[in-house]
Amino acid sequence: MTHPTCAACAEPAVYLDRAAGEHLCADHLTARVEATFRATLRGPGGLSGGERVAVAFSGGKDSSVLLHLLASLAAPELGLALVAVTVDEGIAGYRDETIAWARTLADRLGVEHRVIGFEEACGSDLDVLVRGREGRACTVCGVLRRRLLQQAAHELGADRLATGHCLDDEAESVVMNWLRGDLYRVAGARPTGGESMVPRTKPLARLPEKEVVSYALLHDLAPELPECPYAHHALRSGIRGLVHRAERQSPGTLARIVAGQSELEGRLRGLLPPADFSTCPDCGEPVLGGPCRACTLLGGALEKH
Ligand code: SF4
């Protein structure tokens, strides 16, 4: 059997873009990922230059690629000051190795790196917080991690919080919002945070995870790391299976879901009656009545900032 060659040159292919039906070699895949990253970063919701950017850096493949691209391409081109922030949720048998890798990569890229622990910020590790209700681990983890990243970005004086969400994550979020019946999120009409909220930017949001992972493998950004023991509990893991099956059957589905959501938001803007948002009495975040989810989970242990 002959090995497929790159659609753009005669080199051996390392990647198949099923939606476009074309193979790419290592150099052309690298060039494509970097071009999409640059275009997204300079597009709506991106960066204009000179910002201090906090980077949500779990140490997984997506955030490792994000930090690498920001440090090696965007920082010199746009004059950015980067600080990588890793949240240590306190998950036995999982976090120590990923944090060790996160420290190694941040050091290799010359990026300032902070690690924030659930234990110091919330009073307990995730393992303790979810003991006896492990099925809720990802919900608790996600709510608290997002809050701690926001707090850290604010305290570090960041103008933006960059996250490693890729196209697959974006498509899964669209489907999750539909399945939860969250009309305000479907319409893109939820307030995204209080006064101290640092706006997010998602420079990988137009890249399929397959391209991000292939880039990580080609650029020494994907060491063997353990998987989180709670991962199979996540609602998202079921949704992921669903959208990936659809993508396999009909390549391009992920991009169509995200494009459709963006068009829907544009058409629904201003049509939804205003929701009765108030502020959380403990931390000041906007909520639909009562304390916010993070304060409810922690009994008000998070600080107001
Ligand atoms: Fe947290 Fe769930 Fe991700 Fe584990 S899989 S790090 S519990 S969100």
Residue 71 has pLDDT above 50, yes or no: yes
**Nearest to residue 234, comparing CAs of 137, 91, 169?**
137
Question: In this predicted model, what pLDDT tens digit does every residue of 122-132 receive, in sequence order?
Answer: 888 999 988 98
Q: Ligand 1: which of 61, 141, 163, 239 to mutate, judged by most atoms within 8 Å of the beta carbon?
A: 141
Q: How far apart are CA 277 and CA 285, in angstroms?
A: 10
Protein residue closest via CA to atom 5 of ligand 1: 231
Mean pLDDT of 85-110: 95
Q: Whose CA is closest to 80, among 45, 122, 134, 41?
A: 41
Closest residue CA from atom 7 of ligand 1: 138
Are the beta carbons of 80 and 70 closer than 8 angstroms? Answer: yes
- How far apart (Å, rounded) are the C-alpha atoms in residues 304 and 280? 10
Q: Find the 236 Cα to ligand 1 centroid distance in Å.
A: 10
Q: Which amino acid is at 136?
A: R
Pocket perturbation via mutation, ligand 1, pick of 144, 227, 230 by most ligand atoms within 8 A of CB:
230
Measured from CB, residues less than 6 Å from any atom of ligand 1 are 89, 137-138, 141-142, 228, 230-231, 234
| CA of residue 23 to ligand 1 center, whole Å | 33
Higher local confidence (pLDDT), 289 or 111? 111
> Tokens 């493949």 belong to which residue?
61
Q: Measure the CA–CA gap between 186 and 182, rounded to whole angstroms.
A: 6
Q: Is the overall model pTM greater than 0.95, yes or no?
A: no
pLDDT band at residue 299 using 50, 70 and 90 as cut-offs: low
Task: For residue 278, count CB atoms less than 10 angstroms from its CB and return exposed for 0-12, middle for 13-18, buried for 19 or more.
Answer: exposed
pLDDT of 262 over the 70 cut: yes
For ligand 1, atom 8: residue with the closest CA: 138
Ligand 1: centre distance to CA 33 (Å): 26
Dihedral over alpha carbons 70, 205, 226, 215 (to 10 degrees): -60
Tell me the CA–centroid distance for residue 101 and ligand 1, in Å. Answer: 17
Residue 186 has pLDDT above 90, yes or no: no
From 8-17, 53-62, 204-213, 284-293, the region with the lowest mean pLDDT: 284-293
Q: What pLDDT, in 10s, does the model give residues 213-245?
A: 999 999 999 998 888 999 877 777 788 899 999
| Mean of per-residue pLDDT scores for the chain | 89
Kindly indicate the confidence band of residue 301, based on its pLDDT and cuts at 50, 70 and 90: very low
Ligand 1 atom closest to the Cα of residue 142 is: 8
Q: State the closest ligand 1 atom to the C-alpha of 141, by its place in the atom list counted from 1.
A: 1
Query: How many percent of the chain have pLDDT more than 70?
Result: 91
Mean pLDDT of 288-301: 71
Query: How confident is residue 192, by pLDDT bands cut at 50, 70 and 90?
Result: low
User: Cα separation of 80 and 66, whole Å?
Assistant: 14
